[in-house]
Amino acid sequence: MSGPQAMRKKSLNHPLPWISGTLTGIITGVFLGFFLKGVQAYTGEKVYTLLLNVDFVPWLPSMLPEWLEFTLHLIVSVIIGIFYFWWIQRSGFPLVKGVLLGVFSSLLYIPLSQLSSRVPGLMDFPAILLWLIGHLLFGILLGVCGRVWKRQKGDSLAC
């Protein structure tokens, strides 16, 4: 067996792509955080506050330093990155799957907006739009990272 099939079979020997997933999670998480922080500074819509909000976690204090909330956000992004790489190793289509994860993660707006009084409400349409744009860009960047990784592995047919 040679070519893309051999690469695909070889990559399945690694159950979780820790390094690629972790790096991609950090890159995409930092991008999303900075994007939403800039959007909040420019528009006043509390989308960055929503991203970092942990009011609903019962075992955490309701107010944490921003750096710690951002670290928690990055942990979630790394988990998404690892899952994403595990997923594309098995079936390809990294750009489509990245966008899907971005769109699905944007749906967290619905429960998160209900769990705190310091974040935008469920009917705050400008905030919803900005949140969706940010998460769509997050998904596109996730897909681009996966596509680059797939090409480096010699699996350009699945992109």
Provide the pLDDT for residue 2.
54
Is 101 within a domain? yes
Confidence of residue 16 (pLDDT cuts 50, 70, 90): low
In a domain, 157, yes or no: no
> Does 104 map to a domain?
yes
Whole-prediction pTM: 0.84
Structural domain span for residue 49: 15-152
Number of domains in the chain: 1
CB 132 within 8 A of CB 106: yes
Which helix (H) or strand (E) segment holds residue 56: the answer is: none
Please write the tens of the pLDDT for every residue from 44-94: 999 999 999 887 777 888 778 999 999 999 999 999 999 999 999 888 899
Please report where in the chains the tokens 């979630």 appear, as a residue.
Answer: 76
* Confidence check: pLDDT of 29 > 60: yes
C-alpha distances in angstroms, 133 versus 14, 16, 47, 107? 33, 29, 11, 12
Q: Is the pLDDT of residue 101 over 80?
A: yes
pLDDT at 158 over 90: no
**% of the chain at pLDDT higher than 70:** 86
pLDDT bucket at 28, cuts 50 / 70 / 90:
very high
Coil, helix or strand for 71?
Answer: helix
The residue ranking higher by pLDDT, 12 or 153, is: 153
